[in-house]
A and B are shown apart, each in its own frame.
Chain A
């Protein structure tokens, strides 16, 4: 007997375009706002770079290993410069598009592929489900790094190969989680109810299972984003990932490692960028989770009363 009534909770102003409700919900979570601002900055950086608005990437011997926060210099040098005198800020901005691009494409493909396969394996089970899970087991049976190394060695290092290899090696984690969640949701009474109304598998997967599984999967994806960035940097460091003169944050961290004592900023700022970005994704994923769970909405809105 747990009949605590909630009849009197105000029907919130959920009418009107969903975007307004989302914005209000965002405003209810200061951490998510900060995260959104940082990601906005990153997106702007990628944008400016793709429009080639910054040209100043010349090798300049004068600025070799220039330390940061020397505001007398041109703004591009405010975060210092590397051993070849290239301004760090500009390098960071250029690296942003590669880093984010690789991470996002990789995570999105393993997220979508893994969720679909996992949900199918969980909902239908049987031969198909077993086959999917056995393949997962095989991939997970080898250390991820080893599989990635082998794959890149075999097919040659390139950005697209890197994405494919990383996406495939990360996918089993998504499949397993999606399957476990599906197995749980599948047994819930509301799924039975939909079946009684005549809902077929496609309907049930789309309207009931995927929306219930999605928040968990997005949280997993946001955690994985950091992992993928680090993997990419490791592989790049080993010469199997991004090939210079292309640059990514991970590669910059890797290259900066050698100068930790003499020029700390070379590794520090790209590392900070990686950290802020992954943290922002995590925070936004958490916010998204709450937005998608009606029983948690009060966390976002009532705080402002």
Chain B
């Protein structure tokens, strides 16, 4: 049994311009010790997936219409508010996209990390104070005793993100969800954070969901990749397979449009058009308006996520054949 299993999850939001289906039947699973990258462009539903798991979907306007989220055998959607809250933070942790917004500006960071222990009534060996200092040392913050008493604005963006990571791993959770933890950072700082995440991953056997739109970071960190488009998972594969022979036309397009530092073949191959309006998704396959392989069937039938090889799936009527 997988550590975390999401099945057929549908989440919608009521907005001024109509009902938006942010997730249209998302299914994936996460094993212990595995890093699953959730890859997709802006608005594809990555953050909403994370919020649904963490019970953070704002209701109203949002609602989980159907689906199931099983964690360690228990159905999360059937737990009470209180039980969900106890689970979140202690056994499932979230690292936010925007660390500055997620940290409270009026409390020292040491206090905020210690709060994690207090909320969940944990008493680490050697006391909370020592645990906080140890964590700050572990994430590479020099002079941790002094820094623990400083406020979020006194830290740089990269340090704040590392502090968020420290808070997330404080209680040694089973699942860590990282929502674009490096997107707002410069490359040199991003490298520091990616390194930190890689170390954490080596040290614990937690499963990690790593949300990103950066193929480079995926290649650097992930074991398996789930590619999202317009509220659906369109392909899942082992990271090596995805980069070598992607099956879904969207994954193929994404790889071809990525400029690389180690070559400069002149033309990038962009995907034509832009992401569909979530209020009026195309019928059938949502990618068909931009897909070079689209045929009549694509407009009529929504392609289901089907097995296309050992351990890999794609949602496409006419998948790209293996290289």
Contact = CB atoms under 8 A, between A and B. Distances in A.
B150 to A, nearest CB: 30
Interface stretch (B134-142, B258-266, B276-284): B276-284
A1 B277 CA distance: 15
Interface string A1-30: 111111111000000000000000000000
22 contacts: A1-B41, A1-B42, A1-B183, A1-B213, A2-B42, A2-B43, A3-B41, A3-B42, A3-B43, A4-B277, A5-B274, A5-B275, A5-B276, A5-B277, A6-B277, A7-B273, A7-B274, A8-B277, A8-B280, A298-B17, A299-B16, A302-B17
A6 B41 CA distance: 15
- Chain B facing A: main interface SS: loop
Contacts, number: 32
Interface string B176-188: 0000000100000
Contacts of B278: 4
| Secondary structure call for the A interface | loop
Contacts of A298: 16-17
* Chain B: number of interface residues, binned into ranges: 10 to 19
Given A3-B42, A298-B16, A9 B277 contact: yes
Contacts of A6: 277
Interface in B228-283: 273-278, 280
A142 B42 CA distance: 54
Contacts of B213: 1
A4 B43 CA distance: 6
A201 B269 CA distance: 43
Contacts of A2: 42-43
A57 to B, nearest CB: 51
Contacts of B43: 2-4
Contacts of A8: 276-277, 280
Interface in B9-29: 16-17
A23 to B, nearest CB: 23
Nearest to A9: B277
A2 B98 CA distance: 14
Interface of B: 16-17, 41-43, 183, 213, 273-278, 280
Contacts of A5: 274-277
Interface of A: 1-9, 298-299, 302
Contacts of A299: 16
A115 to B, nearest CB: 30
A298 B279 CA distance: 14
A247 B213 CA distance: 70
A4 B280 contact: no
Given A3-B43, A3-B275, A5-B275, 15 more contacts: A1-B183, A1-B213, A2-B42, A3-B274, A4-B275, A4-B277, A5-B277, A6-B277, A7-B273, A7-B274, A7-B277, A8-B280, A9-B277, A298-B17, A299-B16
Nearest to A5: B274
Contacts of B42: 1-4
Nearest to A305: B18
A149 B189 CA distance: 65
A229 to B, nearest CB: 35
Question: Which 5 A/B pairs are nearest by Cβ-Cβ distance?
Answer: A1-B42, A5-B274, A8-B277, A3-B42, A4-B43
Nearest to B17: A298
B76 to A, nearest CB: 28
A162 B98 CA distance: 55
Contacts of B277: 4-9
Contacts of B16: 298-299
Contacts of B273: 7
Contacts of A7: 273-274, 277
A302 B16 CA distance: 10
A33 B156 CA distance: 53
Contacts of A3: 41-43, 274-275
A8 B290 CA distance: 14
Nearest to B278: A4
Contacts of B275: 3-5
Contacts of A9: 277
Nearest to B183: A1
A290 to B, nearest CB: 12
Nearest to A2: B42
Contacts of B17: 298, 302
A2 B273 CA distance: 16
Contacts of A4: 42-43, 275, 277-278
Contacts of A1: 41-42, 183, 213
A3 to B, nearest CB: 5
A9 B41 CA distance: 21
A7 B272 CA distance: 13
A232 B278 CA distance: 53
A305 to B, nearest CB: 10
Nearest to B282: A8
B103 to A, nearest CB: 21
